[in-house]
Structure 1
Amino acid sequence: MSTQRGLGSRRRLLLGLGAPLLLGAAGLGYAMWPEEENAEKARTDLAPLNRRFWTALGDVSDAHWLGYSIDEHESESNSARSVPSPDSRMRLVGVAHLKQGTANRIMSDPAHHFEVGPLVGPPAALKPYIPSSAGWKQSVTYDKVALEEGLDVIPSGTFRFDGIRDLVYFDYVFLYT
């Protein structure tokens, strides 16, 4: 009977020490676990957007956006190695507020015919910042003239505007040659 009593004490001691150690190790493992590889965090700095889009939009505020090299982004998702591209493709995608009345002023320009243009597949990191009830409108002609080609930049993409909230959603790819 005394051997059983000693065995029970040992079990309680091991359980008393082992459980906190096991919980601590599990917590440490969770804290050190790498984040999901494709989880991107939206940027909020305005200077790069205002430099890039100022002539088309004026100053923007309260922006949430992503900017990345498409070539690097694609190579990270593909395990096969490839020859690097001589050109660099940068994607800027996000949503921002415009100065009051800017969206309606842009959409009322008779040179551009704006039509309803819902967003299709915005990045997951931006979805919390995009109002689900926004009435997005786009114009193919506005997109063509808004960002004229520079000597070293060839843009393609789209702007979408919500006149009620003075919001702009932009999704542009710039090819640097």
Structure 2
Amino acid sequence: MEAQPARTNRRRFLLIAGLPLLAVGGLTAYAAWPQPDPSKIRVRTDLKPLQSRFGTYVGELTEAHWLGYDIDESAGDRTIPSPDSRIRLVGVARLAAGGGAAIVRNAEYAFAPAAPPSELPAPLGQYLPADAAWQHSPRFDAHANRPQSGALPSGEYHIDEARDLVRFDLVYLYT
């Protein structure tokens, strides 16, 4: 009969000592898990995904360099996707000739010279002209960021009228 209390004490000890060790191991594995690194994501040049998302607002795109990735997912995730994913589209695209002027000169939007709020991820830096004359309009952002089928976009568009370039940094929330 005395073997039972010793077994119970041993189980209690293993439970008390084992749970913190498992928690520390889990936290260490989470901290060491690779996070998404936009600098290691392949620069895309396909136009169709961009044209379908915001082409109706900026016009025809003739060239693009951009990144698209889920900002909540680590690079090695192989799990069921979250019901709410946030996809970041960031890059620069060339508009058809005269496209930049057509957008900027629309008085409804009141474009004004403005520096973009943040740097683009490193792989995209080589596609931006150093002396670009960016213009921005919060009214145009509101117009172009209308809810789309299953997605709620947010972000900013900057236009270089002389070069017919659009610089975009957008997040699409899919719910």
Q: TM-score, normalised on structure 1? A: 0.70
Contact preservation (8 Å) 1:161, 1:168: yes
Q: Which has the larger radius of gyration?
A: 1
Structure 2 counterpart SS, 1:131: coil
* Structure-2 change in CA distance of 1:52 and 1:151 (3 Å): closer
Please state how far the C-alpha of 1:46 moved relative to its aligned partner: 1.1
Counterpart for residue 147 of structure 2: 149
Matches of 1:58 and 1:151, distance apart in 2: 19
The number of residues matched between the two structures is: 134
Taking the TM superposition and a 5 Å limit, the aligned residue runs for 1:93-104 are 93-104=90-101
Task: Look up the match of 2:25.
Answer: none
Does 2:126 correspond to 1:128? yes
Does 1:61 pair with 2:59?
no
d(CA) in 2 for partners of 1:121 and 1:170? Answer: 11
**Equivalent residue for 1:51?**
52
Find the counterpart in structure 1 of residue 16 from structure 2.
Answer: none
1:150 to partner: Cα distance: 2.5
| CA shift digits 1:145-169 (9 cap, x unpaired) | 1131135111100100001100000
1:112 paired with 2:109, answer yes
CA contact (8 A) 1:160 1:168 kept: yes
Q: Supply the distance in 2 between the matched residues of 1:85 and 1:138 (Cα, whole angstroms).
A: 33
Kindly report the root-mean-square deviation, in angstroms, between the aligned alpha carbons of the 2 structures: 1.9
Which SS does the other structure have where 1:105 is aligned? helix
After the TM superposition, which parts of structure 1 deviate over 4 Å for at least 4 consecutive aligned residues? none
Q: Which runs of 5+ in 2 are unaligned?
A: 1-36
1:160·1:170 contact (CA, 8 Å) conserved in 2?
Answer: yes
User: Displacement, 1:113?
Assistant: 1.3
Identity %: 45
TM-score normalised by L of structure 2: 0.71
Equivalent residues of 1:56, 1:147 under 8 A apart: no
Asked if structure 1 preserves the Cα contact closer than 8 Å seen for 2:160 and 2:166, the reply is yes
